[in-house]
Amino acid sequence: MFSLRSPDNLKLRSSMTLFAEADPHRHVFGKVLEKYFRGEKDPATLKILEGQSEENADVQQMNLKKALPAKDYVPSREAPFLM
pLDDT digits (tens, 9 = 90+) for 4-15: 788 999 999 999
**C-alpha span between 21 and 33 (Å, rounded):** 12
* 53 or 38, higher pLDDT: 38
Closest CA to 12 of 1, 4, 2: 4
Domain limits, the chain:
1-46
What local confidence, expressed as pLDDT, does residue 71 receive? 56
* Cα-to-chain-centroid distance, residue 62: 21
Quote the Cα angle for 33-39-41, to 5°.
75
Segment 62-78, tens digit of pLDDT: 665 566 555 555 555 55
Over range 17-37, report the average pLDDT: 95
Instruction: Round to the nearest angstrom and report the end-to-end CA distance of the chain.
Output: 52
